[in-house]
Structure 1
Amino acid sequence: MTAPQRTVDSAGPDSLVLATAGLLAWAVWVWGALGLALTAASAMPGLLGTAARLGTQVVLPAGARRSAGLLLGLGLGVAGPVAGVAATVIVAPVASAAPTGGVPDWPAAAVPSAAPTSTSAPDWPLDRPAVPVQDTHVVVRGDCLWHIAGARLLERTGAQPTDADTARAVHAWWTANADVMGPDPDVLLPGQVLRAPDAT
């Protein structure tokens, strides 16, 4: 800053602009911090409070306070929409890229594809169930084996099952699907295809 022409010649004009903006930002920050300290000290009783009030009128005149408040309000009002646009611009290309070899979250653009014939569980979690095969249940988020077994009993018998009936049905579902679910019947993953115990 002491030799602006030499700075422009050696580092370019943008470095001088950045240095000037940085110094200006620091000056505004120091002015605001000093004004805040004086405002806080002006609430104190006695000579210190009186001196702080006089210092506040010198450092922060009423016109400067109003201008600073107006600029701060405009900055906050403009920063939100600009940040939203910037976030949209930055995030949009990432969201539109389909993972290689993966399954996109959006439908394919008019490309006919054969429906999968396998009923095995896919190796990715699904947010929505696949087309279920007869006597199977495709696990979705929030499913638990107790509710699956109880719903199947209600569907089959037409009566609300007792807790003992549901517990027996849970054990039967787990026994029939131990190869899919693993050792813990309380852990279900979205996308798993469970066979009804009466279908095995």
Structure 2
Amino acid sequence: MSVLRLLGTALGMSAIAACLTALAPSLAESVGALSVPQATVDAAGADVLVLHLVGLLAWLAWAWGALGLLLTAASALPGLAGDLAAGTVRRVLPAGARRAAAIALGIGLGIAPPALGVAAGAVDGTTTTQELARPTVRSAVPDWAASTVPERQPTHVPDWAAPAPAGVPDWPQVAAGEHVVVRGDCLWSIAERRLAAGTGSEPTSAEVAVAVRAWWQANADVIGPDPDLLLPGQVLRPPVLP
């Protein structure tokens, strides 16, 4: 869990509570006014009754959100407490709200980037090898073109060009189990779908968070240091989950 995101979310909820305290009637006043609606309308008008109703609904929405965030944070705890919180949050929040709460709290993302220096070194080495190989290719192509292309062009070029209308696949060929990123994908949704397909049931937020970390570590050379940034066309290898 990311401490900075946890503190930021707590400050945001505190700011919303402060705004509600300043702008909306207190809970006691709203409950008292709504318990005798006719008397409230006769004494202060219908608009005051509506104000109390809106204020009460706003406080209920804030309390529901705060409870969901608290349970989502507790679901990352190990042992029975985390399991109990995960089971409770599945009953309190729908799937979309659980995903948003987990992202807001940074569950599964508050870890150091995995061994990117080694991957970068490997990429640099590959690039250097390719650059060293290019002069050989460039020196060989003119010799081949000068000796063979003029003789074979009249007979072989039409045969070679004929298969071109078949086209080239839009996406790279991938092995079984690999995932090609499309627009709108994120590690959370990918990991959640794979867990649901593998177990046949909806995974908990804590299980998805563990899977997100595993997907990132297994594909650090493709994703890079930011797990929230996926590009369409990237091919991700499935991690080995416990």
Scaled by the length of structure 1, the TM-score of the pair is: 0.36
Work out which structure has the larger RCO, using CA pairs closer than 8 Å and 6 or more positions apart in sequence: 2
User: Quick check: which one's helix share is greater?
Assistant: 2
Scaled by the length of structure 2, the TM-score of the pair is: 0.30
